[in-house]
Chain A
Amino acid sequence: MTHALSLGFVLFALWCVLSGYLRPMLLGLGLLSCAFVVFIALRMDLVDREWRPIHLLFGRVLGYWPWLMLQIVWSNVDVVRRILDPRLPISPTLIWVKASQHTDIGRVTYANSITITPGTLAMKLQGDQILVHALTREGAEALAGGEMDRRVTLLEKHS
């Protein structure tokens, strides 16, 4: 029940921010539609099951994101340099990397982190292995070093 209430609260806050109108009639309509969405979510039995990611999100993720942003910027610079280089110095590589996370959401976070960094692309998840396509051999080796894997696993432990 608390989950349903907090879902409703988050939805209504989002509604207020996006609309920006604070007239009673519009607020009432917003409240009604938020209540309706919570009702549908409850009927679909989504409220408890889908809540976990939010926990993970507001917990340790705040420490992980700045590191990820830095990775994204650096790999962007690298990919941009390679694209603009007249010799096009790429060496596409396929590699299986280990995902040592225990939960689905942890693995999804890891795979999404791999994909969002330009130069590496998660293509397939099988058990605890992820098939990664890397633009360069160095990129593949850096990923196989496992620092990102360790950091995502750390997120999971404390959530």
Chain B
Amino acid sequence: MIELIWNALSWTLLLTGGFCLLVGGIGLLRLPDFFTRVHAAGVTDTMGAGAILVGLMLQAGLTQASIKLVLIILFMLFTSPTASHALAQAALHGGLKPRLGEQREDSRSNT
């Protein structure tokens, strides 16, 4: 019974993570400019990767593999915002201007 609950929980997390990865990819294609696309990538590497890793931890139980997974999550939580920030700052420095305001018509004509 308890096994079943753990499995259900773990698979829910794995599927949620997979769904978030998919949505992140869709967002990368749909959103209009570089800066908004970084937000879509953010969905991939917080919720997407995070949910999958926690789901895998539930599968592994209290083993060495789980400790490694915790370390992977920790490193990701520190490095991914740093990478996003570096990208955004480089784009800003390179003279790329973010498009602001309501983007409805804009995005339509752009796709």
Q: Which chain A positions have C-beta within 8 A of B102?
A: 91
Asked whether A135 and B39 contact (CB < 8 A) given A73-B47, A84-B23, the answer is yes
- A79–B101 touching, CB < 8 Å: no
Whether the pair A116, B77 counts as a contact (CB closer than 8 A) is: yes
B34 to chain A, nearest CB (A): 10
Of the listed residues B33, B35, B68, B81, the one surrounded by the most CB atoms of chain A closer than 10 A to its CB is B81
Which residues in A have their C-beta under 8 angstroms from that of B40? 79, 83, 118
For chain B, which range describes its interface: under 10, 10 to 19, 20 to 34, or 35 or more residues? Answer: 35 or more
Q: Are the CB atoms of B67 and A92 closer together than 8 Å?
A: no
Q: Are A94 and B100 in contact (CB under 8 A)?
A: yes
A92 contacts B103, C-beta separation under 8 Å: yes
Q: Do A112 and B30 touch (CB < 8 A)?
A: no
Q: Which residues of A contact B (CB under 8 A)?
A: 14, 17-18, 20, 72-73, 76, 79-80, 83-84, 87-94, 111-113, 115-124, 133, 135
- Interface residues, chain B, CB within 8 Å of chain A? 20, 23, 26-27, 30-31, 33, 35-36, 38-40, 42-43, 46-47, 50, 64, 67-68, 71, 77-78, 80-82, 84-85, 88-89, 92, 98-104, 107
